[in-house]
A and B are shown apart, each in its own frame.
Chain A
Amino acid sequence: MNIEEKLAVLNYKTDPTYPHITVNPSICETCPDHFCTFACPARCYTLIDGKLNFKYEDCVECGTCFVACSHGSVKWTNPKGGQGIKYKLG
């Protein structure tokens, strides 16, 4: 199973008005490693034509990217109450 199929079994209550994680594109543009693309377990960070693409909608709120980004681009907050990933088993 690939990661997209795995993420498809999850339940989210996505908040369309509030991306709880944001990245600073000008920092990502000159990033030498893009380690976030390897570290994030939910593949929220991908490179498209060499440019970093981030989608918070698949985020499982683990906090890995906050540690992974050593360039200060990732701003991490919790989603607003009750929104985001909704595990049934945990």
Chain B
Amino acid sequence: MSEFDAIVVGAGPAGTSAASKMASSGMNVLLVERGDPPGSKNVSGGILWGKDLSKLYPDWEKTAPLERFITNKVTGFLTEDSSISIDFKTKRFERQRTGYSVLRTKLDGWLAKKAKDSGATVITGITVDGLARDGNKVIGVRQENDVITSDLVVLAEGANPRIAIDEGLRQPINDHDVAIGIKQVFKFSEQTINERFNLRNGAGFAGEYSLGFLNNGVKAGGFLYTNKDTISLGVVIDIFDLRKDNSTYSFDIMEKFASHPYIAPYIEGGQLQEYSAHLVCEGGIDYVPKLYGNGYLIAGDSAGFSFSNGMMIQGMNYAIASGIAAGETAISAKESNDYSESMLSSYEKKLSSSEVLMDMRNFRGIQNVTWSPLVHEFIPKFTEGILYNMFNETGEPKKHLFEIALENFAGSKYDRKSLVLDLYRMMRRM
């Protein structure tokens, strides 16, 4: 007889959702979190997209600690001197709110409380050392020199999944599987943020940029998100190219982004409240491990569930959706008193018919586009050249756009054949 029906490791969006789902159906659930309080180890950009939480908490938009709802989405390129972007603002996002900026220590604290209210036992400040096994079956977790037993373990450890790696449940992490996320949060008054970003009544700004000003092929993306009275500014750095370069410091890329001529004015005068770093899953569907086995399930970042096609960057909603799917799977397992691998395989079936695995399969290989020299070097510099030539009045006779484009193309390192191929791949995969 196990002490718990289920033990969930990690009180982030995935773990709390799984625990809440199971506990509210009457299961005896232990949610273990190494941070104290919950959320104190967790970092996101972060915009929470989607309405997955409403499946657990219909009134979440009224009660959760949400910062601002996003009405202004910017996707752009930064070069040494210039900023080029698509700036989309819509009243539609005011009526139909689809993305909220969040700060994870607040959000995860709330999520853990909701899991507790649903009936889960929540313990914080406890680090799980590993899994307890009986033959090929997971029968609980190891902590210090003790074993806590359960019929099911849900691993929701986040992007640096120590247990899953150490226990051989997922492959080791490679350079292309994750990127280095670094973030700084600056304090302002709510009014200053409203004025700087043209925002009113709780509306927010979410900007994401390809950083075309880095040298030696180093690639990174940047983000700027407005919270209620803080701004989250961060970078996501490709490890493969950083390693190849081996002369650029990750934290210098953060500083270079913060001091870019068209980013620095946004954060001018803001007091630095926090500096943080976190791995970001970037490996796509090929980084997703086997999601279930005898007595265990893997959810959220631990399973590599995140999505980015350059336009949308998502992780927390996939974590919640996978946590709920894990919870539903566990409920069926409990009903039939069967926690075997074949029973738990329905978890993957659920995810396969949901946004999570459908998106990840549908966009297989997208990271080869979002992290390509095309996006990080060619497009920013090429577009900058064209726009500069087009808008710059020199007193010389004006040229047609096509002529300007050809001249700028000739000045780039790209040959025409690979450009056509790379553009085709980009259009197909995005």
- Would you give 15 A-B contacts (Cβ < 8 Å), ordered by A? A6-B184, A9-B273, A35-B246, A38-B245, A38-B247, A42-B277, A60-B275, A64-B239, A81-B127, A82-B125, A86-B35, A86-B40, A87-B40, A87-B42, A90-B40
For the complex, give the distance between the alpha carbons of A7 and B274 in Å.
Answer: 8
Which of A39, A68, A78 is within 8 Å of B127, CB to CB?
Answer: A78
For the complex, give the distance between the alpha carbons of A75 and B34 in Å.
Answer: 19
Q: B residues within 8 A CB of A39?
A: 180, 239, 242-243, 250
Q: Are B248 and A38 in contact (CB under 8 A)?
A: yes
With contacts A6-B184, A81-B125, A82-B124 known, is A88 near B105, CB below 8 A? yes
18 other contacts beyond A10-B275, A82-B34, A89-B230, with CB at 8 A cut-off? A6-B251, A38-B245, A38-B246, A38-B250, A41-B250, A41-B254, A42-B277, A63-B173, A64-B239, A67-B173, A67-B174, A79-B127, A81-B36, A82-B124, A82-B126, A87-B40, A88-B274, A90-B104
With contacts A39-B239, A39-B250 known, is A89 near B273, CB below 8 A? yes
Main SS of chain B's interface residues? mixed
Q: Are B36 and A64 in contact (CB under 8 A)?
A: no
Judge if A52 is at the interface, Cβ distance under 8 Å: no
Q: B residues within 8 A CB of A48?
A: none
Q: Are A61 and B254 in contact (CB under 8 A)?
A: no
Q: A residues within 8 A CB of B124?
A: 82
Q: Are A63 and B126 in contact (CB under 8 A)?
A: no
Judge if B419 is at the interface, Cβ distance under 8 Å: no
Q: Are B125 and A62 in contact (CB under 8 A)?
A: no
| Closest A residue to B187 using CB positions | A89
Show the binding face of A for B, using Cβ within 8 Å: 1, 3, 6-7, 9-10, 33, 35, 37-43, 60-64, 66-68, 70, 76-82, 84-90
Q: In chain B between 1 and 56, which residues have their CB closer than 8 angstroms to a CB of chain A?
A: 34-36, 39-44
With contacts A38-B247, A43-B251, A81-B127 known, is A87 near B276, CB below 8 A? yes
Q: Count residues of chain B with CB under 8 A from any CB of chain A.
A: 53
Q: Are B246 and A33 in contact (CB under 8 A)?
A: yes
Judge if B224 is at the interface, Cβ distance under 8 Å: no
For the complex, give the distance between the alpha carbons of A9 and B270 in Å.
Answer: 14
Q: A residues within 8 A CB of B105?
A: 87-90
With contacts A63-B159, A80-B127 known, is A89 near B279, CB below 8 A? no
